[in-house]
Amino acid sequence: MPRWMKITSFIVFVAAIGAGGWSWKKLNTARSDVADDKVVLADITSPDPEAVKRGEYVMRTADCAACHTADKGVFAGAYRISTPFGDLLSSNITPDRESGIGKMTARDFFNAVRQGQGSKGLLYPAMPFTAYAKLTDQDMQDLWAYMATVKPVANKVDENAGMPFPFNVRLVMAGWDVLFFDNSGFSAENHLSALESRGKYLVDAGGHCSACHSPRNSLGAEIDSAYLQGGRLGDWYAPDLTSSPHAGLGARSAAEITEYLKTGEAGPVATGPMAEAIEHSLQYMTDEDLQAIATYLKSLPAATDEKPPMIAATTPAMQRGALRYEVNCAACHGVAGEGMGGMTAAFAGNHTLQSDDATNLIHVMLVGGRAASTHAKITGAGMPSFAWKMDDRQIAETLDYIRNSWGNSAAPVEAAEVGRLRESLRAQSPLPQH
């Protein structure tokens, strides 16, 4: 054999070993060996009460109920999750033996939650195992104890029935895992305080905040270099959580962020997926943990300090927007954008309004919205739809006025973007105007 062929063969051999080792590192489930692999969930009858209590708290921090609850009951699955690759239905995670996870052992459960390897094959990252991978062994053991107390519900779900070929072939996720899955636990960073480290754990592990608040690449993987800098979530937008002074959390104090996470209202009012997260998860967390989250988020460097120029109030479009705001919006949100504390959002100085991405504002203008209903603030105010009353241009002009008044400044909203969302949301067409 010629020398060049020997060298080439050796290089290919070494590369193959390296690729195999890399794949094994990503797919290896040895971390789950700490869990029992004998007793199935449905056979557990007397879990430790203290572990159950701690496990319920872990469940709250991980927001399990929000995605696994639909019309058949809590944790019975069939909640629809839309992705760029098709629609998924969440699985039944009650202890039912036939349609739920009743036949799983603790080790099976650990493999599914932390490593995306379920009883029906590899899981899609819509289930945020990429974040849950950071959950500690203790939190996982406690969560397992809590799941043993959940009432079994018979509800068979075909989770990926809405996924077209080839995305409905779960084996393709092996390649995705090898490329993008970080199969390692949580590690504290030396420069963080104890409070910030606890906040990072809650944000990055159970809270899986980056699953929504970080942008994703064309294959659906989070872009690590843009961590928590905002990301599209179907027909919603999860805003920048860094210390960006304009559209991020830079102008918000840790106390204001804590209040928002606890109640859903602190100037900005939570709607959409964030309202669900607060209702199902965040409002149940201790004040200390919410403060830890807020303190950690405040420690993040700003993604950007750029502030777009304010649209001049004298333009004809802004004047039309001002009149439309006075007629349709001022009664609830105030003549000066001051809002109604605890009920409707204040617009003046509201960082969530000033994002480059106006998706959320267009969304609620077209189909309405509802604020979070929490123990602290029981009445979640409603926002009516204006799709029937305003055309795409009129909605864009109204939002331009809101986003560029009372000290706010933001890029213009395009009427074409309103039209795109109107079609996507199947919102009503405006009535004829005479």
Contact (Cβ atoms closer than 8 angstroms) between residue 274 and residue 359: no
Binding-site positions for heme c read 64, 67-68, 209, 212-213, 329, 332-333
Contact (Cβ atoms closer than 8 angstroms) between residue 430 and residue 390: yes
Return d(Cα 250, Cα 268) in angstroms, integer. 14
Binding-site positions read 64, 67-68, 209, 212-213, 329, 332-333
Task: Read off the amino acid at residue 414.
Answer: E
Both tokens of 395, joined, read: 């909605």
The DSSP annotation for 182-247 comes to --------TTS-HHHHHHHHHHHTTT-THHHHS-B-TTS-B-GGGTTS-EEETTEEEPP-S--TTT
Backbone angles phi, psi at 191, to 5 degrees: -80, -10
Return d(Cα 410, Cα 284) in angstroms, integer. 34
Local structure of residue 70 (DSSP, 8 states):
B
Return d(Cα 339, Cα 254) in angstroms, integer. 21
- The owner of tokens 């959409």 is 272
Residue 293: CB partners within 8 Å, gap ≥ 6?
Answer: 199, 202, 203, 207, 257, 258, 261
Alpha carbon 318 to chain centroid distance? 34
